[in-house]
């Protein structure tokens, strides 16, 4: 016993040290980037990916590779009695007996075998259409090859009944088991109370490719099937799963729960959890028919249900779920009626994710029930967004599902955008602040344009927070801006009707938009190429000049946009819809729009006032503004060349930029000279058309000092000073 006590003290000490360092790190982040309790543990996810996956298989898992059959139904039985009743300690085996009856249809002719995904599963027997399999069935590299007793042709139905057992010496991600009393982490300051597992718990977690760890299946997101879960557990435990509970059979020491789901579901959205849960529910009256109601069910530990504290230090389920019915009403109004027979949420601990949108039964990290995060900050808003995010997935991710992991942006981007819709449901300003936070979070992680494209992330980075979530959510937002939010929501409802209970890939998503909208401001092929298939975002340098018209009291404003982004797989030009705000005296604001289609482009506006400044609307378009430069030259009609340098001084930079605005076509000579008049470099010598031009001034090899940029045009010399500091 003393040894156990010493070990517990060591564990708690380590947790305290880790928490303090985590707190220090978190304090260095802006508030809107604080990851809080419930963003997934990316490092933890990558660790178990590396432990479990054969690298040769990873490319196959991420790609859309359809097999020669389509699963129609899974009927799964799992005997978790021993798994839960026996105490699990390190070195012991987690085991359970199971069977899976798989009904499928063949899609090709002359098929003599099929392949299923299966990991850590010991196959005991297979029957094919009720007959024992006469041929040997092989399992290698996670693939179960099922040899048929005959050949089948396209349209033939095959029923496999596979008996197997699961065996593992540790939690492998697919099956997670935690003993009651296990210390997990420290609670919020100032108490830093140790958080324990309140009741023994076992649950499945399949996203992205872990259903194969607890059932043989076609573990690819494009394949959806009807399903049932039958799970045997010790008496006193409750099992929740997809769909509806159709029956419960109690024996002297065990209970068996029969769950059935009458809507197609992909394997990574299948789920079962068992613990000594307190079960309660709310009623949601369907917005399409108030006489029809469904349950919103909650599965939480008794302690969390009974908690009524308001200080945020403990887990209070009733408070955390207070908005569930309102959220369901909201999403059913904007997306169309909730598409399933029931909705529920189960709380689990421990886990590396904040929430998981299992179809009809979302799984939440238990800390979503606690108002304070582990650093003592208020996490209530973030908790509500996790609940909203996972509920919105029931449409964007479950009703329509990414056909492959290449297309996961469809799921996660839609749910992130849906969070902001919930936040802005009563006030558009709240929506703008929320979406700006998503964009700024992406830019925070991608200041140097180093993040990969949204499309086809590597499997060990499939949950890339910057791109899979924040950038993808911003893409949904920009589609809503370009098409109009109400029109975009209408198109999504039509998409749900067309692809509901199915999967779709990125090209199908794009082509559906093309079928509904003619002549968008930016054509969809270009939009998807630059935002989905390519990396990065536009980085702008913005300059402008103002001239007063002599004939009237109006002002001519030339707005010059230069895109500066560069790098591998980053578009040279992003074609973007932009909005610009001109600010004048006495609080005057003039707003206009434009479509930027070139890397360097000039736009002209006529205003009834002289603007003091201008600003691109970076809430409507995901972009980064490198600099706003206001020309300070004589902007009368006599000025033929307007020039500016930015940044100036150039402090530890590899280059600055020279912007030129020419009133008319001209031959130009541009040189860099040091303060003794010695020529250091020639930037340009040649003919330039009227309009806006941008040149790089390479400063990487220049020593600290003062340099003169000389610009000769039509016999006139303009000199600009550049300060270089290193």
**Per-residue pLDDT, 21:** 35
**Per-residue pLDDT, 638:** 55
Mean pLDDT (whole number) for 339-344: 98
- Whether the pLDDT of residue 9 is over 80: the answer is no
- Whether the pLDDT of residue 22 is over 50: the answer is no
Lowest pLDDT segment from 76-80, 137-141, 301-305, 395-399: 137-141
**Per-residue pLDDT, 62:** 53
**Per-residue pLDDT, 371:** 96
Per-residue pLDDT reduced to its tens digit, 653-672: 888 899 888 888 888 899 99
- Non-local (6+) Cβ contacts of 352 within 8 A are 40, 41, 44, 45, 48
- Whether the pLDDT of residue 393 is over 50: the answer is yes
H or E element, residue 668: strand 666-674
Lowest pLDDT segment from 83-97, 195-209, 449-463, 560-574: 83-97
The 8-class DSSP code of residue 429 comes to: H
**Per-residue pLDDT, 352:** 85
- Write down all domains in the chain, each with its CATH number in brackets: 35-392 (2.60.40.1730), 400-533 (1.10.390.10), 538-632 (2.60.40.1840), 640-726 (2.60.40.1930)
Per-residue pLDDT reduced to its tens digit, 420-465: 999 999 999 999 999 999 999 999 998 777 899 999 998 888 999 9
**Per-residue pLDDT, 424:** 97
CA dihedral 26, 376, 391, 454 (to 10 degrees): 0
**Per-residue pLDDT, 717:** 82
At 678, is the secondary structure helix, strand, or coil? coil
Q: Higher-confidence residue: 463 or 134?
A: 463
**Per-residue pLDDT, 691:** 86
The whole-angstrom separation of Cα 561 and Cα 616 is 10
Q: What percent of the chain has pLDDT over 70?
A: 89
- Whether the pLDDT of residue 495 is over 60: the answer is yes
**Per-residue pLDDT, 631:** 59
What are the structure tokens assigned to 558, written together? 């030339």
Across all residues in the chain, what is the average pLDDT?
Answer: 88
**Per-residue pLDDT, 378:** 95
- Whether the pLDDT of residue 113 is over 50: the answer is yes
Per-residue pLDDT reduced to its tens digit, 550-571: 777 899 999 999 999 998 899 9
Characterise 194 by phi-psi region: left (phi > 0), alpha (psi -120 to 50), beta (else).
beta
**Per-residue pLDDT, 234:** 98
- Whether the pLDDT of residue 36 is over 70: the answer is no
**Per-residue pLDDT, 487:** 98
Q: Higher-confidence residue: 638 or 374?
A: 374
3-state secondary structure string across 613-665: EEEECCCCCCCEEEEEEECCCCCCCCCCEEEEEECCCEECCCEEEEEEEECCC
Mean pLDDT (whole number) for 670-687: 88
Q: What percent of the chain has pLDDT over 90?
A: 69
What does residue 448 show for φ and ψ, rounded to 5 degrees?
-95, 15
Quick one: pLDDT band at residue 120, thresholds 50, 70, 90?
A: confident
Per-residue pLDDT reduced to its tens digit, 325-334: 999 999 999 9
For 55, counting Cβ atoms within 10 Å of its Cβ (0-12 exposed, 13-18 middle, 19+ buried), the class is: exposed
**Per-residue pLDDT, 64:** 56
- Whether the pLDDT of residue 111 is over 50: the answer is yes
Q: Which residues of 425-452 are buried (b: 16+ CB within 10 A; e: fewer)?
A: eeeeeebbebbbbbbbbbbebbeebebb
Residue 409 near residue 469 (C-beta atoms within 8 A): no
- Whether the pLDDT of residue 57 is over 90: the answer is no
Quick one: pLDDT band at residue 122, thresholds 50, 70, 90?
A: very high
**Per-residue pLDDT, 63:** 53
Per-residue pLDDT reduced to its tens digit, 237-274: 999 999 999 999 999 999 999 999 999 999 999 999 99
The whole-angstrom separation of Cα 669 and Cα 350 is 67
**Per-residue pLDDT, 511:** 98
**Per-residue pLDDT, 92:** 74
The whole-angstrom separation of Cα 18 and Cα 333 is 44
Per-residue pLDDT reduced to its tens digit, 690-708: 888 989 999 888 888 889 8
**Per-residue pLDDT, 93:** 81
Q: Higher-confidence residue: 452 or 173?
A: 452
Mean pLDDT (whole number) for 218-238: 98
* Residue for token pair 């408070």: 319
Which strand ranges, in their side-by-side order, compose the sheet holding 589-596? 589-596, 576-583, 613-616
CA distances from 535 to 58, 305, 562, 618, 638 (A): 22, 45, 18, 18, 43
Quick one: pLDDT band at residue 91, thresholds 50, 70, 90?
A: low
């Amino acid at each position: 016993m003393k040894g156990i006590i010493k070990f517990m003290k060591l564990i708690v000490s380590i947790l305290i040290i880790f928490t303090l360092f985590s707190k220090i790190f978190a304090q260095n982040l802006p508030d809107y980037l604080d990851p809080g309790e419930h963003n997934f543990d990316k490092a933890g996810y990558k660790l178990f990916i590396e432990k479990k996956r054969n690298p040769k298989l990873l490319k196959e898992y991420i790609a859309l590779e359809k097999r020669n059959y389509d699963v129609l139904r899974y009927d799964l039985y799992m005997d978790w009695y021993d798994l839960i009743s026996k105490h699990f300690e390190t070195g012991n085996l987690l085991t359970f007996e199971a069977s899976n009856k798989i009904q499928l249809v063949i899609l090709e002719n002359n098929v003599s075998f099929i392949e299923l995904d299966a990991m850590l599963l010991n196959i005991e027997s297979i029957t094919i259409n009720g007959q024992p399999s006469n041929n040997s069935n092989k399992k290698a590299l996670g693939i179960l090859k099922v040899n048929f007793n005959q050949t089948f042709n396209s349209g033939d139905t095959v029923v496999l009944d596979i008996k197997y057992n699961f065996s593992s010496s540790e939690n492998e991600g697919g099956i997670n088991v935690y003993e009651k009393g296990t210390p997990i982490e420290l609670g919020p300051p100032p108490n830093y109370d140790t958080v324990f597992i309140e009741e023994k718990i076992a649950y499945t977690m399949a996203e992205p490719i872990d259903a194969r760890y607890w059932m043989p299946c076609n573990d690819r997101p494009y394949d959806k099937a009807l399903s049932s879960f039958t799970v045997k557990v010790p008496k006193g435990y409750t099992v929740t799963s997809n769909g509806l509970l159709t029956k419960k059979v109690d024996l002297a020491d065990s209970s068996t729960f029969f769950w059935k789901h009458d809507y197609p579901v992909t394997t990574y959205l299948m789920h079962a959890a068992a613990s000594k849960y307190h079960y309660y529910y709310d009623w949601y009256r369907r917005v399409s028919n108030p006489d029809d109601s469904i349950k919103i069910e909650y599965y939480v530990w008794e302690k969390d249900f009974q908690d009524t504290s308001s200080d945020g230090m403990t887990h209070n389920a009733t408070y955390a779920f207070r908005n569930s019915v309102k959220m369901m009403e909201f999403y059913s109004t904007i997306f169309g009626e909730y598409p399933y027979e029931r909705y529920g949420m189960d709380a689990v601990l421990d886990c590396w994710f904040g929430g998981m949108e299992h179809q009809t039964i979302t799984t939440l990290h238990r800390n979503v029930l606690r108002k304070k995060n582990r650093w003592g900050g208020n996490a209530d808003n973030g908790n509500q967004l996790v609940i909203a995010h996972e509920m919105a997935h029931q449409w964007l991710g479950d009703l329509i599902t990414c056909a492959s992991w290449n297309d996961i942006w469809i799921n996660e981007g839609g749910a992130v955008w849906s969070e902001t819709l919930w936040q802005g449901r009563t006030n558009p300003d709240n929506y703008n602040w929320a979406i700006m936070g998503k964009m700024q979070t992406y830019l925070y992680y991608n200041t140097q344009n180093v993040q990969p494209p949204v499309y086809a992330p590597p499997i060990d980075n499939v949950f890339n927070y910057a791109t899979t979530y924040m950038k993808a959510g911003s893409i949904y937002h920009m589609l809503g801006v370009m098409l109009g939010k109400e029109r975009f929501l209408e198109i999504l409802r039509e998409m749900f009707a067309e692809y509901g209970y199915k999967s779709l890939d990125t090209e199908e998503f794009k082509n559906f938009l093309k079928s509904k909208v003619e002549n968008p401001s930016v054509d969809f092929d270009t939009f998807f190429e630059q935002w989905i298939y390519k990396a990065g975002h536009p980085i702008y340098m913005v300059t402008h000049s103002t001239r007063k018209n002599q004939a009237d009291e109006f002002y001519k404003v030339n707005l010059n946009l230069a895109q500066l982004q560069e790098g591998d797989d980053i578009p040279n030009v992003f074609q973007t819809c932009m909005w610009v705000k001109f600010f004048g005296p006495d609080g005057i604001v003039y707003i206009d729009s434009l479509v930027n289609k070139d890397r360097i482009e000039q736009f002209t506006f006529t205003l009834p006032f002289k603007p003091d400044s201008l600003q691109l609307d970076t809430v409507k378009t995901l972009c980064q503004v490198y600099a706003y430069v206001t020309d300070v030259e004589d902007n009368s009609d006599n000025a033929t060349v307007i020039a500016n340098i930015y940044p100036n001084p150039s402090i530890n930079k590899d280059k600055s930029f020279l912007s030129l605005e020419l009133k008319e076509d001209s031959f130009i000579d541009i040189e860099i000279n040091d303060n003794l008049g010695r020529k250091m470099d020639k930037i340009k010598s040649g003919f330039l058309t009227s309009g806006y031009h941008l040149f790089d001034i390479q400063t990487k090899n220049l020593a600290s000092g003062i340099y003169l940029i000389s610009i000769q045009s039509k016999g006139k010399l303009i000199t600009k000073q550049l300060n270089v500091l290193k």
